[in-house]
Structure 1
Amino acid sequence: MILRTFGWSFGVTVVGLLLALLYDGPTGLALVAVLAVLEVSLSFDNAVVNAKVLDRMSVFWQKIFLTVGIAIAVFGMRLVFPLLIVGITAKLSPVEAFDLALNDSHRYHELMNDAYPMIAAFGGMFLMMLFLDFVFEERAEKWLPWLERPLARIGKLDQLSVVVAGGSLAFVAWLSADDPGNVMIAGVLGMVTYILVNGLGELFSEATDEDDEDEGEEAGETAGRSGPSSLALATGKAGFFLFLYLEVLDASFSFDGVIGAFAISTDPIVIALGLGIGAMYIRSLTVFLVRKGTLHEYVYLEHGAHWAIGALAVCMLVSIGHHVPEWITGGLGAGLIIAAFASSVVRNRNQAGEPPEVGPGAADRAKEPTGSSKSP
């Protein structure tokens, strides 16, 4: 199971480290290794949320996520994206931006820092919308009931997520941004992207479910699967939009890692190799969580991941005007997920020690879902 799931990651690690050694000697090897660890530590919450979405996708789209998706994640977000940002900011072609990165790393770093407020606003708003949609929804299982109950209660107000996210964006742009107009535009685009991709995913997922129900019950058997029945598995257009949602989600998570990588190296090749290796492990970890049914067994992991997303979104918004060290964002995410995992273990042990419920309706209550999520 481990080798089958992480085999490609192990292979990419060996190849990536060898390329780093050939490219920049022992220094390059060390930098790539550090960047890979940085990416994994900053993006573990991304893997948990990805697993929740991937659990709804068909085997075909899961494979697309691990092949085409990883190419987009590594070459698109970790190599091409920084070059495009610098090119747009400095009005350079991608080739000129690449040449600038190799021959004038100081200027390249300055241009990336100049563009960071817009990047942080876009990614922060996308993640903020994801977090708010989760905490404002009523669900059976509650990790922090003293906080989640009142949030779910006020979440009954329609479009509250948009109101809170938009208000937060306006406040940060007014308080901290050197260029409030561009920050507002980037943040609104992040919100629009989330609403559009999330809405299309749900729309086509519902259409697929209705088509499957019309075809009969025979599609409901999925051998060896612990998650949803195949009636809930997204195929066709639904699978495509869930895949698109995952890629935008990964992009939002990667903004922080890409910018943080410049504190370690400004060489685009070294950054792409290091973050690419880390991205491979995030992909493999996502599939591992799905195949092991970890999210069904440790029910608070999803809660912890979304609270970590909320913390990351806040850090990205704060970083528009003030630098937030990477160890704070990574530490908050890891701490919340570890706490959620520990709470899940305690919950499972407590339930294992309880006598089985008897009486009218006990069997039906045992079949009730443990929670739900508004995100795809």
Structure 2
Amino acid sequence: MIARIFGLSIVISIAALVVAFVYQSWTGLALCAILGILEISLSFDNAVINATILERMSEFWQKMFLTVGVLIAVFGMRLLFPLAIVWVTAGLNPVEAFRLAMNPPAGGAEAFADGSPSYETILHEAHPQIAAFGGMFLLLLFLNFVLTDHENTWLSWLERPLAAIGRVDQLSVAIAATSLVLVAEFLADDTHRSTILIAGILGMVTYIVVDGLSSLFQREQPGVDHSEESDTASADGSAQRASGPSAVTKAAGRAGFFLFLYLEVLDASFSFDGVVGAFAITADPIIIALGLGFIGAMFVRSITIFLVRQGTLAEYRYLEHGAHWAIGALAVILLLSVKVEINEVVTGLVGVAFIGAALISSIGANRRDRANGVTEDAAVSVPR
């Protein structure tokens, strides 16, 4: 199974390294490898969240995630997205933006001799808007999880009180909107305040619309007996049944499409900071696309499929909780980065810490269950 899941990623990664070597010799190969390793090591929380959504999708939409979704992740987010930012913010057409990317100023300067900004400079200047959009999208995802009651809790001392106050309707939206106003007021400078507000509102609207549509079409799936469910699962997996998603609730048709769309927007939100942060290593868009996309994004998808096929989320019950707390941390870091520059390695290590702690807690809980003679199925429904 491992060879089948990771085989294509390995082949494509080798091909990407060969292309990087042909393109920029040993320097290109080294930079490509570094970017790929960083993307893989810092995106495990992304893979866990993807897996929670993917396991509710039909086999057809899982295959779409691995084919069309890969193309969107590799070419859309890692190559075209930075070019689109330069295109929009600098008023350049796509061809001119690509030419600017491929011809940086000599000596790594921030501007050309005529004073015009470099490709890297334009991207960094657009970071506040990018961070506001991605931060608000991820913040709503986190809030909708922690403000929902769950059969199992990880940080019970905190998650249970949050679930209790989460009964207030639309509380997550109210908290997110208040956070955006505070960020715009106290972290944004005068030149970026309005654009940060607009970008943040768009991030919230995007989450609400895509999450709402995917949940709506899941409820409308024919042949599904919702009377047996304690709650309807939303696109972020915040509402859980005692036994987890069953086969009959796997989304198909329109529901599958909107879950797929939700998954791609979610992946994009995770990618924003990494794509911009990659310019601290290299400003070459080809190397970035090869390292982050062809190596990093491919392996993240393979890890996602591995988690689904192996039933890892069911076996390690707190992984989903840890991943959502990592998302909450990433959302806060993105919003703080509107004013404070935070190294992407720090961002990734915070996520790894939450995932690692959740994994250790899950292993400990499983050992206690085995020692007490609790079966695996019964353990899932026992409140923690």
| Fold match by TM threshold 0.5 | yes
Identity %: 59
Alpha-carbon distance in 1 for matches of 2:246, 2:351: 31
Moved more, 183-192 or 228-237: 228-237
Q: 1:368 deviation in Å?
A: 6.8
What whole-Å deviation, never above 9, does each CA across 1:39-75 have from its counterpart, x for those lacking one? 1122110000000000000111000000000000000
Q: How does 1:56-205 map to 2 (within 5 A)?
A: 56-104=56-104, 106=110, 107-178=118-189, 179-205=192-218
Q: What does residue 360 of structure 1 align with?
A: none
Structure 1: runs of 5+ lacking an equivalent? 215-225, 358-364, 372-376
Q: What does residue 207 of structure 1 align with?
A: 220
Q: What does residue 330 of structure 2 align with?
A: 312
Q: How does 1:1-376 map to 2 (within 5 A)?
A: 1-104=1-104, 106=110, 107-178=118-189, 179-208=192-221, 210-213=222-225, 228-276=245-293, 277-356=295-374, 366=378, 369=381
Moved more, 54-63 or 229-238: 229-238
Residue type at the aligned position of 1:344: S
Residue type at the aligned position of 1:109: E
What whole-Å deviation, never above 9, does each CA across 1:62-115 have from its counterpart, x for those lacking one? 000000000000000000000000111110011100100111264111100111
The answer on whether the counterparts of 1:118 and 1:183 sit within 8 Å (CA) in structure 2 is yes
Q: What does residue 220 of structure 1 align with?
A: none
Alpha-carbon distance in 2 for matches of 1:227, 1:300: 13
CA distance 1:370–1:64, shift in 2 (3 Å): farther
Residue type at the aligned position of 1:275: L
Alpha-carbon distance in 2 for matches of 1:356, 1:148: 24
Alpha-carbon distance in 2 for matches of 1:16, 1:338: 30
CA distance 1:289–1:108, shift in 2 (3 Å): same
Q: 1:355 deviation in Å?
A: 3.7
Task: Give the match's secondary structure for 2:280.
Answer: coil
Alpha-carbon distance in 2 for matches of 1:367, 1:326: 37
Q: 1:326 deviation in Å?
A: 1.1
Q: 1:369 deviation in Å?
A: 4.5
The answer on whether the counterparts of 2:49 and 2:324 sit within 8 Å (CA) in structure 1 is yes
Alpha-carbon distance in 1 for matches of 2:213, 2:159: 27
The answer on whether the counterparts of 1:58 and 1:235 sit within 8 Å (CA) in structure 2 is yes
Alpha-carbon distance in 2 for matches of 1:228, 1:157: 25
More helix per residue: 1
Structure 2: runs of 5+ lacking an equivalent? 111-117, 227-242
Q: What does residue 240 of structure 2 align with?
A: none
Q: 1:161 deviation in Å?
A: 0.5
CA distance 1:356–1:194, shift in 2 (3 Å): closer
Alpha-carbon distance in 2 for matches of 1:194, 1:16: 33
Q: TM-score, normalised by structure 2?
A: 0.89
CA distance 1:293–1:90, shift in 2 (3 Å): same
Alpha-carbon distance in 2 for matches of 1:332, 1:134: 19
Alpha-carbon distance in 1 for matches of 2:379, 2:345: 41
Aligned residues: 353
